Amino acid sequence: MDFSDRFSIPPHDDPMLYASIVAIVLTSIAIVVGVTYFKKWGYLWNNWLTTVDHKRIGIMYIISALLMLFRGGADAVMMRLQTAVPDNTFLDAQHYNEVFTTHGVVMIFFMAMAFIIGMMNFVVPLQIGARDVAFPRLNALSFWLYFTGAMLLNLSFVVGGSPDAGWTNYYPMAGPEFSQHVGVNYYNWALQISGIGTLMTGINFIATIIKMRAPGMKLMKMPIFIWAALITNLMIVLAFPVLTIALLMGTLDRQFLTNFFTTSDGGMDMMWANLFWVWGHPEVYILIIPAFGIYSTIIAAFSERNLYGYTSMVASILAISALSFLVWVHHFFTMGQGALTNSIFSITTMLIAVPTGIKIFNWLLTMWKGKIRFATPMLYSIAFIPLFTIGGSTGVMLGMASADYQYHNTLFLVAHFHNVIIPGVVFAMIAGLIFYWPKMFGFMLNERIGKWAFWNITIGFCLAFFPMYFTGLNGQARRMYTYSEATGFSTLSMISFIGTLLLAVGFVFLVYNIFYSYRHAPRNIGGDPWNARTLEWATHSPVPEYNFAISPTVHSEEAFWDYKENDYELFKGKVEDIHMPNNSGWSIIFAGFFFAFGFFFIFHVWVGVIIAFLGIIGCLIYRSFEKDDGHHIHKEEIEATEKELGGAK
């Protein structure tokens, strides 16, 4: 296959594709023209694109995650529309394959991962009383590598064709024989590049949390979200290299015709599944543990109580992280590895329910006798508990190896993992976003519209996914693009489609809320609009560049609460010059070379690969020789800012 065959715009002859290409081009032109017209290029470059500020990087992560949520959500609506009625012809089989593949990839890698990393970026340094992360420049690079990966994957839609072998990308389906266009190459390189960014984030945050906590914040005095972040990043650092190697082997197979995952010459297609899930299972916990951290924070804040069972919470996070590396085989119980192996992994899988159960009880007991305020973040947290418990219980069902032969690759499984990921991760991220919105932007989101969004999303979720448990048990396989009338799946599938629409309406409310509140919400909300408990609320909203004028001193995991209620002195000492890192365009340029490298590699354009590679090396050499010692914000400047924002805190 030569270059012109691979490089096809658009990949299929389909009016919808043409329409979306036109839409993409028009939107891009509109953005460029708009930024030029309002003369915002300088602002954009100086304040956002070159920033090393953890808060801005966090916000950029979250904005990208929201964009990807809509991209992946559109895929979801298309899938449910296609399966809403039997024998539908809205999408053909190939197109359906591409849609469910991109839906999964976008949602896991570019929505959920970006959302949790964005949340950690914004919250972690504030909550430990630090001025930034350990390696601010590396943090910017992480973001831009992630963004590069996301753009690369989305480009596949327009140039060459999207990946079509499922988000799990199993071989031999993903191999060069059965997936001939460049889609899976895109998959390999987009994930490879954003995975490098994620690994760097992991290293960065572990170093930050180990070394940069406020004085007095011992390990067992860290807020629970910090524990969650620490363990999450530990898992990132140990899990992502596995994906790196697996993707490398996949690339070699597809682009250099090796025999890692083929079915001849000693190749083993199931080895991909094995390696993918060695990474993939910890990945699931990488997503859920920060979500647990956010729920713990929110539930404590809105129950006006300290978190029940702090020590057991920490212990169960540790237990989950250790077990998460010991269960991966439960994703392919049906491979044929025999009863002994399946039993071992079945037991480790079911063990995970124990620490998770402990956490559920801790949240319930935190609310017990608390003064509960039903603000939107709290509503999501309360809805999370029963919904996640259902998702967890079906997970235990799937974890029983012999029963799994019945559930495997049916919609029962699809219902299960959406049932843990949507109420688990997505609800947490929305709740966290609403909770931290005033800290990010200095105004609150409207509660009434927020509740509309909440009810649409929650009811929509239940309608969309609960029917799949039933059709799944009745034998409806996942990833089938259509079914016949005789199967009897049509009523439940239609309900599921209606639920999807409700979910979509909920997300529209969410966005409308941002727009509405931006115009109508009052500013001057003070540093602590929710009457919350942890350090990030001790500074102004929005947070000044240097976070805290004076570094806080801490004596418990809820130092700010003690400061408010028990006359604890949080800010000892006086304002001094603050050392801050410099902004730099290096990260975005470096990521640009990575984009070129990935793109040319996908299309086997070796000259381009070599040039981009030299660019990458050049950037590394430049960085090695660069001397950048940051700058100081002077005392007078800080005092002036503090005065303007309403007095030193």
Q: Which residues bind another protein (CB under 8 A)?
A: 134-135, 199, 202-204, 206-207, 210-211, 234, 237-242, 244-246, 248-249, 252, 256-260, 262, 264-268, 270-271, 274-275, 278, 325-326, 328-329, 335-338, 340-342, 344-345, 617, 621, 624-625, 627
Q: In whole angstroms, what is the distance from residue 557 CA to residue 560 CA?
A: 9
Residue 241 or 526: the one with the smaller Cβ distance to another protein is 241
CB of 287 to another protein, least distance (A): 18
Residue 360 or 619: the one with the smaller Cβ distance to another protein is 619
Residue 199 or 286: the one with the smaller Cβ distance to another protein is 199
Residue 53 or 132: the one with the smaller Cβ distance to another protein is 132
Q: In whole angstroms, what is the distance from residue 413 CA to residue 465 CA?
A: 11
CB of 282 to another protein, least distance (A): 9
Check residue 581 and report its DSSP letter.
Answer: P
Dihedral angle at the C-alpha atoms of 238, 244, 246, 248, nearest 10 degrees? Answer: -160
Token match 């009863």: residue? 339
- State the sign of the Cα–Cα–Cα–Cα dihedral 623, 625, 626, 628: positive
CB of 332 to another protein, least distance (A): 8
- Which residues are paired to 580 by β-bridges? 631
Residue 231 or 428: the one with the smaller Cβ distance to another protein is 231
- State the sign of the Cα–Cα–Cα–Cα dihedral 51, 54, 56, 62: positive
Residue 344 or 403: the one with the smaller Cβ distance to another protein is 344
Residue 107 or 199: the one with the smaller Cβ distance to another protein is 199
Structure tokens belonging to residue 199: 């690994």
CB of 247 to another protein, least distance (A): 11
Q: Do 44 and 35 meet the contact criterion of CB atoms below 8 Å apart?
A: yes
CB of 283 to another protein, least distance (A): 13
- Give the distance, in angstroms, between the CA of residue 436 and the centroid of all CA atoms in the same chain: 16
CB of 459 to another protein, least distance (A): 41
CB of 43 to another protein, least distance (A): 30
CB of 486 to another protein, least distance (A): 36
CB of 237 to another protein, least distance (A): 5
CB of 263 to another protein, least distance (A): 10
Residue 199 or 411: the one with the smaller Cβ distance to another protein is 199
Residue 15 or 338: the one with the smaller Cβ distance to another protein is 338
Question: Residue 87 phi/psi, 5° resolution?
Answer: 50, 40
Q: In whole angstroms, what is the distance from residue 598 CA to residue 154 CA?
A: 13
Residue 68 or 273: the one with the smaller Cβ distance to another protein is 273
Structure tokens belonging to residue 586: 């290096």
Length of the chain: 649
CB of 270 to another protein, least distance (A): 7
Residue 237 or 498: the one with the smaller Cβ distance to another protein is 237
Q: Where are the alpha helices (DSSP H) in 217-268?
A: 224-256
CB of 279 to another protein, least distance (A): 9
Own/partner long-range contacts of 75-80 (Cβ < 8 Å, ≥24 apart):
75/99, 75/100, 75/102, 75/103, 75/106, 76/103, 76/500, 76/503, 77/500, 77/501, 77/504, 79/103, 80/464, 80/493, 80/496, 80/497, 80/500
Residue 237 or 353: the one with the smaller Cβ distance to another protein is 237
CB of 548 to another protein, least distance (A): 17
Q: In whole angstroms, what is the distance from residue 629 CA to residue 19 CA?
A: 50
CB of 267 to another protein, least distance (A): 5
Burial label, 620 (beta-carbon count in 10 A; 0-12, 13-18, 19+): exposed
Give every CB contact of residue 264 below 8 A, 6+ residues apart in sequence.
none
CB of 583 to another protein, least distance (A): 17
Q: In whole angstroms, what is the distance from residue 232 CA to residue 459 CA?
A: 30
Residue 170 or 470: the one with the smaller Cβ distance to another protein is 170
Residue 200 or 379: the one with the smaller Cβ distance to another protein is 200
Give every CB contact of residue 276 below 8 A, 6+ residues apart in sequence.
168, 169, 170, 243, 246
- Which residues are paired to 410 by β-bridges? 477
Amino acid identity, residue 439?
Answer: K
Residue 262 or 513: the one with the smaller Cβ distance to another protein is 262
- State the sign of the Cα–Cα–Cα–Cα dihedral 575, 565, 298, 201: positive
CB of 649 to another protein, least distance (A): 24
Q: In whole angstroms, what is the distance from residue 257 CA to residue 542 CA?
A: 53
Q: Do 80 and 471 meet the contact criterion of CB atoms below 8 Å apart?
A: no
State how beta strands 631-633 and 578-580 pair. Answer: antiparallel
Using DSSP, how many helices (H) and how many strands (E) does the chain show? Answer: 23, 2
CA distances (Å), origin 422, targets 111, 333, 388: 12, 25, 9
Q: Do 609 and 255 meet the contact criterion of CB atoms below 8 Å apart?
A: no
Q: Do 310 and 222 meet the contact criterion of CB atoms below 8 Å apart?
A: no
Q: In whole angstroms, what is the distance from residue 216 CA to residue 553 CA?
A: 6
Residue 238 or 589: the one with the smaller Cβ distance to another protein is 238
Q: In whole angstroms, what is the distance from residue 301 CA to residue 292 CA?
A: 14
